[in-house]
């Protein structure tokens, strides 16, 4: 049975007032670091007192039906055995992230490319069979066999592309199914951690190797980090955004893109506010489904929920229709809050 005692905040725990503290050290960022990690628009620290999380990586991160499914597991616990060494965490104590292994990433890319090729080439091949066979049979009555059709129609490339897509998608899916330990998974250690209990940001040295998986490169206070909103265009020329936390002095940074993805400007602004809200121990945990099972393990959240009479299973007992309506309402609130 795991210990379900609420956490105790350390003396270094973060509150929003610490963003106003002076920064005595000068900036030691090199040019390359400034052009990569510290590029983009610097977002001023705020004191978000209301919970308006992003949609895709906030409210929709885990739906109520998924929470109920997780709870139904016979060995379910908010603090499962060995949870302290999980390379990915999102609970009352910390936000911790690790990326996929290189093998998982490569197989995933092959599977995605195969699926995209299958979706595009299947209708092309079906239409080509219909139109081209009708055309060639009418203009070349002596061609009755498929080898002749491929030889003279010029559509053999499409069929080869379809065959490659099927092999890529099916092969990658088969590898995931037969060899899950080899193909799927995350790096042995985390890349970074934002700790609500201690108020510290930890950047790990090299999470890809077991020998250095948990070696700490930097451990610095959260209030010493600046947030940068970075943008990049899609192939269609549409701007997409991501966040980077950068220490004001040393070359330490946290790429939040892994956890919050590349999304709209609005969702990234909401993600930055949610991170500040999460780290501020004077405020309760952000009220989104993924944190609900941990609310009783955080002292500030427990007291706040008691004062307002929040049902402990507000999200977990919510039906799909109501949850979808909450998503629509959140979109409207985000638009009004940031651009209204």
Q: Is the pLDDT of residue 47 over 60?
A: yes
Say if residue 310 is exposed, middle or buried (CB neighbours under 10 Å; 0-12, 13-18, 19+): middle
At 102 the pLDDT is 58
At 171 the pLDDT is 66
Q: Write out the two tokens for 185.
A: 């998974």
Q: Write out the two tokens for 122.
A: 């299947």
What pLDDT band is residue 321 in, cutting at 50, 70 and 90? Answer: very high
For the chain, percent of residues with pLDDT exceeding 70: 74
Q: Which CA distances in Å does 21 have to 24, 90, 161, 222?
A: 9, 28, 60, 12
The mean pLDDT value for 96-101 works out to 80
3-state SS, residue 30: coil
The mean pLDDT value for 294-318 works out to 96
At 187 the pLDDT is 76
pLDDT in tens, 126-147: 655 555 555 555 655 555 445 5
At 3 the pLDDT is 84
Cα 26 from Cα 248, distance rounded (Å): 8
Residues 175, 178, 184, 189, CA torsion sign: negative
What is the DSSP track for 264-325?
-HHHHHHHHHHHHHHH-TTSPPP-SGGGGGGGGGSHHHHHHHHHHT--TTTTTT--HHHHHH
The mean pLDDT value for 78-95 works out to 93
Cα 331 from Cα 340, distance rounded (Å): 12
The mean pLDDT value for 278-290 works out to 96
Cα 225 from Cα 276, distance rounded (Å): 11
- Of the listed ranges 35-49, 67-81, 156-170, 216-230, the one predicted with least confidence: 156-170
3-state SS, residue 186: strand
Cα 248 from Cα 223, distance rounded (Å): 10
* Phi, psi of 3, deg, nearest 5: -75, 125
What pLDDT band is residue 57 in, cutting at 50, 70 and 90? Answer: confident
What pLDDT band is residue 232 in, cutting at 50, 70 and 90? Answer: confident
At 247 the pLDDT is 97
In this prediction the pTM is 0.79
CA angle 286, 291, 293 (to 5 degrees): 140
Q: Is the pLDDT of residue 107 over 60?
A: no
3-state SS, residue 92: coil
The mean pLDDT value for 36-55 works out to 88
The mean pLDDT value for 39-55 works out to 87
Q: Which CA distances in Å does 319 have to 58, 64, 69, 291, 325?
A: 18, 7, 13, 18, 10
C-alpha closest to that of 205 among 196, 197, 214, 194? 214
At 280 the pLDDT is 97
The mean pLDDT value for 328-337 works out to 92
Q: Is the pLDDT of residue 183 over 90?
A: no
Q: Is the pLDDT of residue 331 over 70?
A: yes
Q: Is the pLDDT of residue 177 over 90?
A: no
Q: Is the pLDDT of residue 328 over 80?
A: yes
C-alpha closest to that of 173 among 108, 220, 259, 92? 108
Look over the chain and give the mean of its residue pLDDT values, rounded to a whole number.
Answer: 84
> At 255, which helix (H) or strand (E)?
strand 253-255
* Intra-chain end-to-end CA distance of the chain, in Å: 49
For the chain, percent of residues with pLDDT exceeding 90: 59
- Select the more confidently predicted residue: 293 or 182: 293
Secondary structure of the chain: what % helix, strand, coil (to 5)? 50, 15, 40
At 139 the pLDDT is 58
Cα 174 from Cα 158, distance rounded (Å): 24
């Amino acid at each position: 049975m795991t210990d379900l005692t609420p956490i105790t905040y350390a003396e270094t725990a973060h509150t929003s007032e610490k963003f106003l503290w002076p920064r005595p050290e000068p900036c030691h960022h090199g040019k390359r670091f400034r052009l990569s990690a510290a590029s983009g628009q610097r977002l001023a620290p705020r004191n978000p007192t209301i919970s308006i999380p992003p949609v895709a990586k906030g409210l929709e991160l885990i739906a109520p039906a998924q929470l109920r499914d997780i709870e139904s597991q016979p060995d379910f616990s908010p603090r499962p055995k060995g949870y302290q060494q999980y390379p990915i965490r999102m609970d009352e104590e910390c936000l911790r992230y690790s990326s996929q292994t290189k093998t998982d990433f490569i197989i995933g890319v092959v599977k995605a490319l195969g699926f995209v090729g299958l979706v595009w080439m299947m209708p092309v091949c079906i239409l080509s069979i219909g139109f081209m066979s009708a055309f060639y049979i009418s203009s070349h009555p002596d061609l009755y066999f498929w080898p002749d059709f491929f030889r003279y129609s010029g559509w053999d490339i499409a069929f080869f592309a379809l065959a490659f897509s099927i092999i890529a998608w099916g092969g990658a899916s088969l590898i995931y199914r037969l060899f899950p330990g080899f193909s799927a998974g995350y790096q042995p250690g985390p890349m970074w951690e934002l700790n609500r209990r201690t108020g510290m940001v930890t950047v790990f040295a090299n999470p890809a190797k077991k020998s250095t998986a948990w070696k700490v490169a930097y451990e610095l206070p959260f209030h010493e980090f600046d947030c940068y909103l970075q943008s990049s265009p899609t192939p269609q020329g549409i701007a997409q955004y991501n966040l980077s936390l950068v220490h004001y002095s040393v070359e330490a940074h946290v790429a939040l893109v892994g956890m919050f993805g590349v999304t709209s400007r609005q969702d990234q602004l909401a993600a930055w506010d949610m991170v500040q809200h999460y780290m501020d121990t004077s405020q309760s945990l952000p009220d989104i489904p993924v944190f609900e099972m941990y609310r009783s393990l955080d002292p500030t959240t427990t007291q706040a929920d008691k004062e307002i009479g929040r049902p402990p299973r507000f999200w977990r007992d919510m039906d799909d229709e109501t949850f979808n309506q909450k998503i629509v309402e959140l979109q409207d609130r985000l638009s009004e809050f940031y651009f209204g």
